Amino acid sequence: MAEPLDLLAIGEVMAEIRQDADVGFQVGFAGDTYNTAVYCARARGRAGSVAYFSRVGTDPLSEQFMKQAEAEDLDTRYITSIEERPIGIYAVATDATGERSFSYWRDSSAARTLFAEADENLPVARITYLSGITLAIMEPSARRRLMDKLAKLSSTGETQVAFDSNYRPKLWENADVARDVMDEMWALTDIALPSVDDEMALFGDSSEGDVVKRFASRAWKACAIKRGVQGPISPTLPQRDTPRFTPAPKVVDTTAAGDSFNAGYLAAFLDGETEQACMLAGHALAKLVVASPGAIIAR
Q: Is 295 a domain residue? A: no
Counted domains in the chain: 1
Nearest to 95 by CA among 29, 12, 19, 40: 19
Q: Is the predicted pLDDT of residue 20 greater than 90, yes or no?
A: no
DSSP H stretches of helix in the chain = 32-44, 60-71, 132-136, 140-155, 175-188, 196-203, 208-216, 257-270, 275-289
In a domain, 71, yes or no: yes
User: Among 131, 74, 128, 130, which residue's Cα sits nearest to residue 270?
Assistant: 128
pLDDT in tens, 29-86: 999 999 999 999 999 998 889 999 999 999 999 999 999 999 999 999 999 999 999 9
Of the residues 190, 198, 253, 259, only one is catalytic, namely 259
Stretch among 43-47, 135-139, 159-163, 196-200 having the lowest mean pLDDT? 43-47
Rg of the chain (C-alpha set): 18
CA distances, 107 to each of 14, 65, 89, 203, 227 (Å): 12, 19, 10, 26, 30
pTM: 0.94
In a domain? residue 239: yes
pLDDT (0 to 100) of residue 99: 67
Whichever domain contains 39, its CATH number is: 3.40.1190.20
Structural domain includes residue 154: yes
- Separation of alpha carbons 130 and 182, rounded Å: 12
245 occurs within a structural domain: yes
- Please confirm, yes or no, whether 259 is among the known catalytic residues: yes
Q: Is 294 part of a structural domain of the chain?
A: no
Pairing of strands 24-30, 5-10: unpaired
Q: Tell me the pLDDT of the chain averaged across its residues.
A: 94
* 299 domain-assigned: no
Q: In the prediction, which pLDDT does 93 show? A: 74
Closest CA to 232 of 187, 268, 203, 186: 268
pLDDT at 48: 87
Domain of 94 in residue numbering reads as: 5-289
Q: Has residue 298 been placed in a domain? A: no
